[in-house]
Copies of this chain bind each other. A is one copy, B any other.
Amino acid sequence: MSAKPVSLKVLAARLGLTVGTVSRALNGYKDISPVTRDRVKRAADEMGYRPNQTARRLSLGAPETVCYLMPRYSSSIAQPFVAQLLQGLGEALSKRNWDLLVSHAESSKEELAQIDRLVRSGRVGGLVISRPLKNDPRIRLIQDLKCPFVVHGRTASSDDYAWYDVDGDAAFVEAVNHLVGLGHGDIAFVGAPLQYQFAQDRLNGYERAMLGNGLTLTREYTQIADFSDEGGEIATNMLLDLPKPPTAIVCVSDTMALGALAAIRERGMVPGQDISVIGYDGLKFGTHANPPLSTMAQPQAHAGRRLGDMLLSIIDGDDPTKHQELQRAYLLRRKTDGPLHLAEAGSIVSEREELQ
């Protein structure tokens, strides 16, 4: 179908040289005379020669290709970070003219099979995975395969591989402290299933900060739900149905926080006044939420670039454990965090009701 590209053979024939010589000239070998080197390069340009990468990689024994394993969706809200991450990865890889493959699997089992095929068939020389589970079978498999890899996120025992993560624990400490500073004490947590390490990290931060502020943890104030806006909405409804609803909620993601806002508005309350909500991610569309969502934001722009650079270094032989990078999230105040006041009046009412 495609037009036949010019090969080293025809280029060599045109020049009256052997393919070996032409190859060395093109690859800048020192033992080629400057004059023929120039002659070869000029001819290559003229004829539009492009080395066949498949042949080159077979000869080199290196696929010069990296694969990103796309996260499976638990939500219908597309994962906005994927496009950015791919862009960053691509930038890092293109400096060396490596290729970026993407792979998507329907199930965990399928994903493992795909990883196995991908590396054992010599198609990829490195992998990057996102959002690891606490004890992620992919990581064990990749380690068994001895394939270089980097993780976007961390697992529980994250000491023996390379990763790039944002400190979710610290972020939730900051979020809770901020709310306490605003006068809140009844602070609830809306989270995702704890098989995800990031969900556990953020819960840990929440709990640590609650205790650190002398507040008590209750089962009812910790709502784990599906990782989606609907999940956030359901979890928040559970909280609002409590005899003593919280006056503030921290959410494990902006997407879940949007669901929380919906649940709150549904009851005629206004987020940021009657009840505070803080999300996590710092996604742009939070500025268009109703009202604009306060959130723990992260410098997501160069996650992909960093991960790509790390992976390349490791493939070059670097010790993976030297590449562990923890970013810090920062509080981005928009309109859904506010001081306890109307909410306080509400809680006084319910205390009165309790007295009766």
Please pick, from B100, B121, B289, the residue contacting A102 in the complex, using a CB distance under 8 A.
Answer: B100
Which residues of A approach B to under 8 Å, CB–CB?
1-3, 5, 48, 50-55, 57-58, 63, 70, 73, 76-84, 86-87, 90-91, 99-104, 116-117, 119-123, 125, 145-148, 229, 258, 261-262, 284-285, 287-291, 315, 317
Q: Give every chain B residue within 8 A of A90 (Cβ-Cβ).
A: 70, 102-104
Q: A117-B50, A315-B1 are in contact. Are A123 and B146 (CB under 8 A)?
A: no
Q: A102-B90, A289-B288 are in contact. Are A123 and B80 (CB under 8 A)?
A: no
Sampled A-B contacts (13; CB under 8 Å): A1-B146, A2-B119, A3-B146, A53-B123, A78-B82, A78-B84, A80-B83, A90-B103, A91-B104, A100-B101, A262-B287, A285-B285, A290-B291
Q: Give every chain B residue within 8 A of A84 (Cβ-Cβ).
A: 78
Q: A83-B83, A87-B70 are in contact. Are A52 and B146 (CB under 8 A)?
A: no
Residue of B nearest to A117 (CB): B50
Please pick, from B87, B102, B261, the residue contacting A86 in the complex, using a CB distance under 8 A.
Answer: B102
Known: A50-B116, A70-B90, A288-B289. 16 other contacts (CB 8 A): A1-B146, A1-B147, A2-B119, A48-B120, A50-B122, A51-B121, A52-B122, A54-B63, A58-B58, A82-B86, A83-B83, A87-B104, A100-B103, A102-B102, A262-B288, A285-B288
Q: Is the CB of B99 within 8 A of A50?
A: no
Q: Give every chain B residue within 8 A of A53 (Cβ-Cβ).
A: 121-123
Q: Is the CB of B78 within 8 A of A83?
A: yes
Please pick, from B2, B101, B120, B315, the residue contacting A145 in the complex, using a CB distance under 8 A.
Answer: B2
Please pick, from B2, B80, B101, B287, the residue contacting A146 in the complex, using a CB distance under 8 A.
Answer: B2
Please pick, from B50, B70, B81, the residue contacting A120 in the complex, using a CB distance under 8 A.
Answer: B50
Residue of B nearest to A78 (CB): B80
Q: Is the CB of A86 within 8 A of B104?
A: yes
Min Cβ gap A181→B in Å is: 27
Q: Is the CB of A261 within 8 A of B288?
A: yes
Q: Give every chain B residue within 8 A of A2 (Cβ-Cβ).
A: 119, 125, 145-148
The 8 closest A-B pairs by CB, nearest first: A290-B290, A50-B120, A78-B80, A82-B83, A50-B121, A258-B288, A3-B146, A90-B104
